Structure 1
Amino acid sequence: MKRTIFSLLLAVFTGIVFASCSKNGNDETPVAKPQTYVLVHGAWQAPYVWDAVRTTLVNNGHKVIVVELPGHGADQTPAYQLSLDVYRDKVVEALSKVEGKVILVGHSMGGMVITHVAEKVPAKISKLVYIGAFVPKSGQALVDLSPLDPTSKLGPSLVPSADQLTLDVKREDLTNLFIADGSAASKQLVLDNYRPEPAIPFTTKVNLTSGNFGSVEKVYIKTLQDVVITPGFQDRMIADAGIKTVYSVNTSHSPFLAQPLAVSDLLLKIGK
């Protein structure tokens, strides 16, 4: 008799456990589908700036491609050979190797690049994400946008080369401009990886259409302590581009170095 009662209780308990597991499985929020994030750095920087963000995204089950723009990082393409079209084509090449769509992220000057890419291959992009980035209108180059931000502190720190092919940032201003709120280690990283910026791509205008660039969903992440692209000018570009989804991080111009977890969390949220 005792054996029969024990068997019945075991059967009931087992049934409850399986029912509970099934219920939890149905009620839990579905795991986000793995995304492919393509990350594009800005001017005077290189792929290293995304290292911490990349690690977090990968640890959350996503694929990450970090594009090294020609003339940056270890790439030695001569400055006279560069243009925004060259940058665009490098990103398009990276996208062509991905099955399906990507979330394309651009910082600062990288906003010009991802905009140009979206006009070229809109079908490859699920979302464009601008982080403290330029968002041009059709017919604009970066040199057309920068004068519209008169309170930016970058201009007075720029030093063109004798041949006008590159632009330097005064070394004494570099970390205050790009990562004033960063750790000593992150500031040193910026100094150690600094290279003069190719100038010609700043003059390339983008031509945009509603059917291509206009068809891609856009998100903006504002950088609230930014003195390179000021929050007020970011608001103006957001409004001009009709971007509806806007987040913010309370950082300087380089949030992926100052607060990489905050940036990663937002990108994960955007990817859901």
Structure 2
Amino acid sequence: MKKTISSLLAAVFAISTFASCHKNEDKPDPKTYVLVHGAWQAPYVWDAVRNDLLKEGNKVIVVELPGHGTDKTPTYTLSLDVYRDKVIQAIAAVNENVILVGHSMGGMVITAVAEKVPAKISKLVYIGAFLPTTGQALVDLSMSDPGSKLGNSLVQSADKLTLDVKADSLTYLFINDGTPAVKQQAIDNYRAEPAIPFTNKVTLTNEGFGTVKKVYIKTLQDIVISPGLQDRMIAAAGITTIYTVNTSHSPFLSQPHEVSKLLLNIAK
């Protein structure tokens, strides 16, 4: 009888150990995501995605770019390098490598970051984002996009330091597929966009930016950065890992849980 009981206990222990190991294998190790917002937006846009990623045990850093959100850095001092350095500072506080995510203008920023600290980045993720080649600025890419409807809605300030989006075009351009509540949130958090960083060109090398794995999430209903331009940028960068979301320019607002699922999958 004692031998039988011992055998049963051993079997139960073996089964529970196997189940525990199997469960651990199914759930990936926690990752650190660094999320970078785009133009005319701020950290709030990532709230729902951030919560989803945290619930799965990950770490999340949401960067507030200078001149956005509540940041009061003088507009005339801003540049793409200033944005870059803010993100590098956030990454430097993390011991492990990060998954660096950028949306729209944030794609320019994460590209510049990857050139400087490629060894700190496990993957670059572009979500409906500008993805330059060396020598290009955001304005160069934007002007090459006949499918974009943004240009006619821009108003430059008298000092040429900021760009506004016409009030009646803001939600139509950026989140036409969002709920009324989300659209109102975009209106409530709106600020004019610093203009100088749009003209700053990137310098990229094979030894820096070229060494980092890249993923692109296309926004199929986008009228700010058209799917056509997205395809051209993806091809120029040689990206082969591509996902899609059937949304407007701001999928983290209109379909945040879909974005979260993709980011979790990309981390595997």
Counterpart check, 1:159 vs 2:155: yes
CA distance, structure 2, for counterparts of residue 154 and residue 262 of structure 1: 25
**How far apart in 2 are the matches of 1:241 and 1:258?**
27
Give the whole-Å Cα distance in 2 for the aligned partners of 1:207 and 1:116: 8
Q: Distance in 2 between matches of 1:12 and 1:114?
A: 57
d(CA) in 1 for partners of 2:18, 2:195: 59
CA–CA separation in structure 2 for the residues paired with 1:11 and 1:125: 50
Paired position in structure 2 for 1:20 = 15
Superposed, which structure 2 residues align to 1:1-272 within 5 Å? Answer: 4=1, 10-28=5-23, 29-272=25-268
Q: Given residue 136 of structure 1, which amino acid in structure 2 is its aligned partner?
A: P
Instruction: Give the Cα–Cα distance (whole angstroms) in 1 for the partners of residues 241 and 152 of structure 2.
Output: 33
Q: Percent identity?
A: 68
Deviation at 1:31, TM superposition (A): 2.4
For 1:11 and 1:121, the matched residues in 2 are separated by 56
SS at match of 1:22: helix
Count residues with an aligned counterpart: 267
Unaligned 5+ segments in structure 1 are none
Cα distance between partner residues in 2 of 1:259 and 1:119: 30
* CA distance, structure 2, for counterparts of residue 105 and residue 27 of structure 1: 30
Deviation by residue 1:30-76 (Cα, 9 ceiling, x = unmatched): 42111110000000000000001111111111111100000000001
Alpha-carbon distance in 2 for matches of 1:141, 1:154: 17
1:26 shift after superposition: 4.0
The letter of the residue matching 1:200 is I
Q: Residue by residue, what CA displacement relative to the aligned partner does 1:174-207 show, whole Å, maximum 9, x if unpaired?
A: 0010001111110000000000000000000000
Shift of 1:8: 5.7
Distance 2:147 2:53 in 1: 34
SS at match of 2:66: coil
Structure-2 separation of matches of 1:18 and 1:78: 64
TM-superposed CA distance for 1:11, in Å, is: 3.8
Displacement of 1:271 after TM fit?
A: 1.1
Shift of 1:10: 4.1
Cα separation, 2, equivalents of 1:27 and 1:195: 49
Separation (CA, whole Å) in 1 of partners of 2:182 and 2:78:
28
Give deviations 1:229-248, integer Å, cap 9, x for gaps: 01111011000000111111
Asked if 1 retains the 8 angstrom alpha-carbon contact of 2:101 and 2:110, the reply is yes
Whole-angstrom distance in 1 between the partners of 2:97 and 2:22: 28
| TM-score when normalising by structure 2 | 0.96
Rounded Cα–Cα distance in structure 1 between residues aligned with 2:22 and 2:79:
51
Report Cα offsets for 1:72-105 as digits up to 9, x if no partner.
Answer: 0000111111010110011111111110211110
